[in-house]
Amino acid sequence: MSMLYEIEHLHQPNGWLSPGYLEIGKDGRILSVSGVKPEGGTATRLNGFGVPGLSNLHSHAFQRALAGRTEFVTGEMAEDNLWTWRRAMYQMVDRLTPETYQAIAALVYLEMLQFGMTAVCEFHYVHHQAGGKPHSNRAEMSDRLIAAAAKTGLGMTMLPVFYAHGGIGKPVEPTQQRFVHSVDDYLGLIDTLRGRKKDHANLDVGLALHSLRAVTPDEAKAVLAGMQAMDAKARLHIHVSETTHEVAEVKAGLGARPVQWLLDNVDLNSQWCLVHATHLDASEIAGAAASGAVAGICPLTEATMGDGFFPLVEYHGANGAWGIGTDSHYSTSTAEELRMLECGKRLELRRRNVIARPDQGQPVHSGRVLFDTALAGGEQASGQGGGALVAGRRADLVMLDADSNPLLGHGPETVLDGWLLGGTQNPVRDVMVAGKWVIRDRHHPEEAAIKTNYRKAMAELTA
């Protein structure tokens, strides 16, 4: 039996319907959208602003446990950056168990839903036991993440990571043994996880290369060929050009800057997500944008690590696709990530509204451009089937509360500006994934249990 909703203001790709009528089938997909109530239908009224749920295109769930725990310096630090932070991260990795992994993931996935994200691309590389011995169930750690997503109701594109080296021509460090597979074992893991899809309607499985530092060209070609044989349309993700150190190492070791190497050596296309892509030269910006690949920007993680600014204005101006991830989860807020992206560039360029440009003399709002671009890029990177409230798509609906402080007095024209750039209170009230309500009145039915399990996990990790 289908459900019909009358939504006070309904986001559409080219504007808003006020009201909008959204009909959802029992399979969780949208049957119809209209500005006129269908004859004979009984509609449930939803007040406020209905927008599509975003896909979070980059997550390392376990790193949520480090947020706020590395904000200090010692006399031994000559410089504090991504590489010094990584040492603290590895210390925590050594202590992760399947149980603590799942508990941490459940909390961060709950947070994503509460901020209006309805799917996540989980870039997962903690595969084995401490020391590198595989679990008896070789997919144990992946299964824990899948279970956490299922518990919360979040859609997931699982991206098991292929990781083989500690740098170009370098062996892995002891902690990194937890990350390492042979090519055959890695492809076997992907095949196993693809078998989980039959039991999880909102699960997809793609491929991730950790980075060009951690994978040789021959290994990259082998795993890409293996993935192609299993699923020619799979999503393909890679960390690339996050730091100037990485750019220099890849250029010295492979003879080209990282994104340029990918442009020259793989079929870079719309299936790819280039995570971070912070340090690009003009040629790489033009080539990556033209390839159709999505740039996976993680603004608050990149800021927290001191990585640098993504070339947003140039990439967007070249019609490059991009979306946002929350990476190490210093924030899981849609608004905070997009605000950092836009306002960071405002600080750098010393002007306002850097991403919006007038359209044939008509005003264009920064909030709408930020939201719609991140929406499309996230869906492209995840392949979850949502990304728009139109017929045929998965019914991922986020209701924004018009009575929340940031949205008071706003109408459809400025509501996204108010949410993303105009306040700090979270206006997300209700969240639907695949036709099922998972957040109602800001609460999740498993919230108390998820928080209890997280506290227990943190007590074990920090004892």
Predicted confidence at residue 386, as pLDDT, reads 98
The pTM is what? 0.96
> Higher-confidence residue: 6 or 79?
6
pLDDT score, position 82: 62
Tell me, what's the pLDDT at 381?
98
261-292 confidence digits (pLDDT tens): 999 999 999 999 999 999 999 999 999 999 99
**For position 34, what pLDDT does the model report?**
97
Digit-coded pLDDT (tens) for 170-194: 999 988 999 999 999 999 999 999 9
pLDDT at 330 over 70: yes
By annotation, the residues acting in catalysis are 276, 327
Residue 231 pLDDT more than 70?
Answer: yes
Percent residues over pLDDT 70 in the chain: 97
When pLDDT is averaged across residues 167-172 and rounded to a whole number, the result is 96
- Can you give the pLDDT at residue 148? 98
Residue 77 confidence class, pLDDT cut points 50, 70, 90: low
What would the pLDDT profile of 237-258 be if each residue is shown by its tens digit? 999 999 999 999 999 999 999 9
Contact indicator for 23, 41 with CB cutoff of 8 Å = yes
pLDDT at res. 357 = 84
Helix residue ranges, H only, 94-216: 98-114, 140-152, 183-194
* Start-to-end C-alpha separation, the chain: 51
Reported as a pLDDT band with limits 50, 70 and 90, residue 440 is very high
Average pLDDT taken over every residue of the chain: 95
Q: pLDDT tens digits, residue range 24-50?
A: 999 999 999 999 999 887 999 999 999
The dihedral built from the CA positions of residue 216, 80, 57 and 274, taken in this order, carries a sign that is negative
Statement: residue 260 has pLDDT above 70 = yes
pLDDT band at 80 (very low <50, low <70, confident <90, very high): low
User: For residue 7, what pLDDT is reported?
Assistant: 98
Per-residue confidence at 138, pLDDT binned at 50, 70, 90? very high
Task: Give Cα 340 distance to the centre of its chain.
Answer: 16
**pLDDT tens column, 386-427:** 999 999 999 999 999 999 999 999 999 999 999 999 988 999
Q: What is the DSSP string of 23-87?
A: EE-TTSBEEEEESSPPTT---EEEEEEEEEPEEEEEE-GGGGGGTTSS----TT-S--SHHHHHH
**Does 128 have pLDDT greater than 80?**
yes
| DSSP string for residues in 159-188 | EEEE---SBTTBPPPTGGGGG---HHHHHH
Q: Looking at the predicted structure, is the pLDDT value of residue 459 above 90? A: yes
Domains of the chain: 3-52+385-447 (2.30.40.10), 54-382 (3.20.20.140)
Strand partners, 9: 49
The pLDDT of residue 212: 98
pLDDT value, residue 78: 60
Place of tokens 């049957």: 31
Paired strand residues for 240: 276
